[in-house]
Amino acid sequence: MKVLVIGPGGREHAIVRSLLADPNVSEVHAAPGNAGISKLVPTHAVDASDPDAVAALASRLTVDLVVVGPEAPLAAGVSDAVRAAGIPVFGPSMAAAQLEASKAFAKEVMAEAGVPTAMAKVAGNAEEAADALDTFGAPYVVKDDGLAAGKGVVVTNNRDEALAHAQSCFDAGGTVVIEEFLDGPEVSVFVLCDGRDTVALSPAQDFKRIFDNDEGPNTGGMGAYTPLDWAPEGLVQEVIDRVAQPTVNQMAHRGTPFVGVLFVGLALTSRGTRVIEFNVRFGDPETQAVLARLKTPLGGLLMAAAKGELDKVQPLRWSKESAVAVVVAAENYPGSPRTGDRIRGLKKVEAIEGVHVIHAGTKLDAEGKVVSAGGRVLAVVALGTDLVEARERAYDGVELVQLEGGQFRTDIGGKAARGEIKVTTPGAAPATTKAKA
C-alpha cells in the first residue's frame, strides 16, 4: 500500500511514523511535511489546502490512500477532490467537515442526534452576546464559530473580556457560540468512522493553556498523555453509544456521511459526560501520544475506514505502557512566535530509552540544519512502564532540547501521576480516583 499524508505538523509526523511501522505499507509520501518528516519520507511542496493540487499529486504518485491531517484542507474540500479522482481518502468531505468548521452546525447535529452537550446560544452581535452571557453566567465560554486552530475559545470570569472576544469575532465578520461552563476533567477520544461504523481509540488528556496550572491563553495544545487510568469504566463504550454512533447515523441521514476521525472533546461533569466540541481530524498533540501506544497497524485501519470496512476490523491492540507528549513551543507563542532559530540536541533526546521527537513547526535552512518555523516547534514523546516513568523520560528529553526562547509546561500528566484527578459521579460527592501509576 502506498500512502500520501497531507499536512505540515506534528500530527502528520506521528501518522507518517506509524504508517512506516505497518508491514503492509510499502511507501509513504507527505505534502508539504516538515524537517522531521522529510528525514523519513519524500516530501512534496504542495499547498495542502488546494484540492486540485492535492488530487493531482495523489494521482501522479499513484497512491492507494490519501490521509488528510489538518482541518483547513478538509474544510476546503481536499477530500472531495481526491475522492473524485477515484482514490480512497481518510478524511471527511467538505460538507461533513462542517462539524468542526462551524460550531453552530455541530450543535445542530448534536441536538438532532440527542448527543449530550453544553447548552449554547449563537450570537451575531454585541447585544445577542451580552444576552447569552447573562443567560449562562460565569465562567463565561465564548467560541469563535469558525476554524481557529484551537485558539478561538475564551473561558473567563471577566464579562468584559468575554464580550471583547465576541466583538473581535464580529469585527472579523464571524459569529460566536456562547455556552454554559462545563466542570470536571476533560478527555479526548478519537473515533474512526467509515460513514456507517465506528471504532474508538484509547482516550487521552491534553493541556490547552500555555502555562502550568492551566494559566494563560489557549493554544493548539501543549502536551498530552494516555491511557487515563482514572477515567470511569465504560467511558469509551459510552462515547460510542451516546455520541459517536448517533452523530455518524445523523450525518448519514443528512446525506453527508462522515468518513475519517471524529475527535470528541469531552468534559466529565457532575451531571454526566458532556461533549465540549467536535473536531474532524486527529488532535494535536494527543495523536503523538495515542499512536505511540497503538500496536494495530495504522495503514490497514485508515484504509478500512476509507473503504467502509471498519466492521471487518479486529479489536485494537495497545501497548501496556503509558505515553506522554510534551510540546516545546517558540518564544512568544501563542502570540507572534519567534521563528528561524536553530534547534539542537535532538539526537541526544532520541538516545534516551523509549523516547522520540515529533517535529511540528520545523524546517531545514539553507545549510540543511533544523530550525524553528512555527509556534509549536516539536514534541518529545516518551513511553514508560507507567505514567511516572513516561513523564520522567519525556522531561529528561525536553531538557536536552536547545531552542533559544523555547518554552514548555512542566505539569503534563502531573496530577494524574500523583492520583489527583477528580471525577464526580452524577448525584454523588466528588471523589478522587487514584491512578495506577
In a domain, 106, yes or no: no
- Among 73, 91, 109, identify where a domain stops: 91
User: Which of the 8 DSSP states describes residue 408?
Assistant: -
In a domain, 240, yes or no: yes
Q: What is the span of the domain harbouring residue 172?
A: 119-179
Average pLDDT of the chain is 93
Write the CATH number for 154: 3.30.1490.20
Do residues 233 and 376 share a domain?
Answer: yes
Residue 339: all three cell numbers together: 521563528
- Among 164, 179, 194, identify where a domain stops: 179
What is the DSSP track for 313-351?
Answer: PPPP-B-SSEEEEEEEE-TTTTSS-----B-B-HHHHHT
Do residues 216 and 128 share a domain?
Answer: no
In a domain, 422, yes or no: no
Do residues 385 and 248 share a domain?
Answer: yes
Residues in the chain: 437
Closest among 242, 253, 150 to 200, alpha carbons compared: 242
Residue 237: all three cell numbers together: 463504550
Do residues 218 and 313 share a domain?
Answer: yes
User: Which of the 8 DSSP states describes residue 94?
Assistant: T
In a domain, 434, yes or no: no
Choose the weakest-confidence range: 163-177, 303-317, 374-388: 163-177
Better pLDDT: 168 or 42: 42
Over residues 261-289, mean pLDDT: 94
Which pLDDT score, from 0 to 100, does residue 326 have? 98
CA distance 254 to 111: 14
H or E, element range at 187? strand 186-194
Do residues 49 and 82 share a domain?
Answer: yes
Do residues 320 and 228 share a domain?
Answer: yes
Better pLDDT: 89 or 179: 89
Do residues 6 and 140 share a domain?
Answer: no
Confidence of residue 434 (pLDDT cuts 50, 70, 90): very low
In a domain, 343, yes or no: yes
Which pLDDT score, from 0 to 100, does residue 429 have? 46
Do residues 172 and 262 share a domain?
Answer: no
Residue 9: all three cell numbers together: 505538523
In a domain, 353, yes or no: yes
B/e letters for 180-218, b = 16+ CB within 10 Å, e = fewer, are bebebbebbbbbbbbbbbbbbbbbbbbbbbbeeeeeeeb
In a domain, 423, yes or no: no
Residues facing 170 on adjacent strands:
none
Do residues 145 and 200 share a domain?
Answer: no
Confidence of residue 430 (pLDDT cuts 50, 70, 90): very low
CA distance 120 to 352: 47
Do residues 156 and 192 share a domain?
Answer: no
Tens-digit pLDDT profile for residues 180-235:
888 889 999 999 999 999 999 999 999 999 999 999 988 999 999 999 999 999 99
Tens-digit pLDDT profile for residues 111-162:
999 999 888 888 889 988 998 899 988 889 898 876 655 457 888 899 999 9
Neighbouring residues of 27: CB distance < 8 A, sequence distance ≥ 6: 2, 3
What 3-state class would DSSP assign to 250? helix
User: Which of the 8 DSSP states describes residue 240?
Assistant: I
Which pLDDT score, from 0 to 100, does residue 374 have? 95
Do residues 238 and 170 share a domain?
Answer: no
Which pLDDT score, from 0 to 100, does residue 425 have? 66
Predicted TM-score (pTM) of the model is: 0.90
Do residues 190 and 289 share a domain?
Answer: yes
Over residues 10-32, mean pLDDT: 98
Write the CATH number for 52: 3.40.50.20
Tens-digit pLDDT profile for residues 27-36:
999 999 999 9
Confidence of residue 435 (pLDDT cuts 50, 70, 90): very low
What's the structural domain count of the chain? 3
Write the CATH number for 234: 3.30.470.20
pLDDT of 286 higher than 50: yes
Over residues 324-340, mean pLDDT: 97
In a domain, 433, yes or no: no
CB 211 within 8 A of CB 324: no
CA distance 344 to 226: 28
CA distance 281 to 262: 6
Which pLDDT score, from 0 to 100, does residue 148 have? 55
